[in-house]
Amino acid sequence: MRSVVALAVGVLTLAVAPGAMADSYFEVEHARANARAGGPVSERDAELLDRYGALSGTPDWRARAPAPYGYRSDAPPRKVYKKSKRRD
């Protein structure tokens, strides 16, 4: 009987406890992809890139990070290319 009560208390504790927010692999890769594309890098992306690092060949993402994170905010804007019309 004691084991059943202990098991029930354990299950209820796990069911009621809030889940911890963890960094996911996809969130880190999304931040790296934004940095490779030339921005924009959000505060969360800057935090993830600081923690896990960016891949080699990535432009300097610190220049594109928001000013509250501690980096300069006068970075050049992201390049936008016009779609070319196909000629058949």
Q: Where are the domains of the chain?
A: 22-77
67 three-class SS: helix
| Per-residue model confidence (pLDDT) at position 72 | 52
Handedness of CA 9, 15, 16, 20 (dihedral sign): positive
**pLDDT of residue 59 exceeding 80:** no
Please report, for residues 5, 18, 47, 66, the alpha-carbon distance to residue 12 in angstroms, rounded to integers and kept in the order given.
Answer: 11, 12, 35, 43
Q: Are 72 and 60 in contact (CB under 8 A)?
A: no
**pLDDT of residue 52 exceeding 70:** yes
Q: What is the Cα–Cα distance from 88 to 75, expressed in whole angstroms? A: 39
Q: What is the Cα–Cα distance from 40 to 34, expressed in whole angstroms? A: 6
The answer, as to whether pTM is greater than 0.75, is no
